[in-house]
Structure formats: C-alpha cells, structure tokens
Amino acid sequence: MTKEINNTFNMIQGISLQSKLLSFNASVEAARAGQHGRGFSIVAQEIQSSLKEIETITQKCELQTTLIDGSLKALKVNSEMTVTTYEEHSKYISISIDESASLASKKNSDQIFETLDRL
C-alpha cells in the first residue's frame, strides 16, 4: 500500500514540477509584455506560492508514510514473534498435559495394584 502512496506522491511531484515550469514561462511572458503582462505575473506568483504549499504538504505526507511503513514492519515482526512464542508455549503445555496424564495413569495403576494386593 505504501508503494501506491509513494507512486501518488511521485505523480504529484511531477505535476508540481510541470506547473513550476508553466509558472516560470508565464513570468517570462509577463516580463516581455511589460505593463500589459502584470496580471500574468500576479497569477504566476500565486501559482508558485500554491506549489510551495503543495510541496510542503507532500513532504509531510511522505514522512508520515515512511513512519507508518516502519510501524507496520515492526508490527509484523512483533506478530511473528508472538506466534512463535505461542507455538513454543503450546508445545510445552502439550508435553505437560501428556506427562500429567501419564503420571495420573501410573498412579491409578499403582493404586489399583495396591488395592488388589490388599484383597
């Protein structure tokens, strides 16, 4: 999933770069047009300002995605360790149950033989 998010960020960065070039070209054309191009210059400045905000937001999102990815990897490792621990404990419990059953069976057998000997 983080791959898809990173691909989206890359697309946003590509669009941002293209928009910066368009904004630069608008600024150049505005300078060429002199007083008549003043409106283009203002629009170009607004576009550049918006692009800086988008870049900042995108960088924050990329950082958060990296942190989430790290957390997910740690969660996976911890989950695997938990499963391994559970499996080990299950084996010990199974062995303990088998040994307890064996001891109980032996104890019952011994008691039966003692009772028979007394008869």
Looking at residue 94, its pLDDT comes to 83
Distance CA 39, CA 58 (A): 29
Distance CA 81, CA 4 (A): 28
Mean pLDDT value across residues 1-21: 84
Q: How far is CA 83 from CA 30, 45, 77, 78, 79, in A?
A: 66, 57, 10, 9, 6
CB atoms under 10 Å from CB of 9, counted, come to 15
Nearest one of 79, 25, 73, 31 to 47, comparing CA atoms: 25
Nearest one of 14, 15, 19 to 44, comparing CA atoms: 19
Question: What global pTM score does this model have?
Answer: 0.59
pLDDT digits (tens, 9 = 90+) for 34-63: 888 888 888 888 888 998 898 899 889 889
CB atoms under 10 Å from CB of 44, counted, come to 21
pLDDT confidence bin for 9, thresholds 50/70/90 = confident
Mean model confidence pLDDT for the chain? 83
pLDDT digits (tens, 9 = 90+) for 88-116: 988 888 888 877 777 666 666 666 666 65
Mean pLDDT value across residues 71-98: 89
Looking at residue 80, its pLDDT comes to 93
Looking at residue 117, its pLDDT comes to 63
Mean pLDDT value across residues 7-20: 87
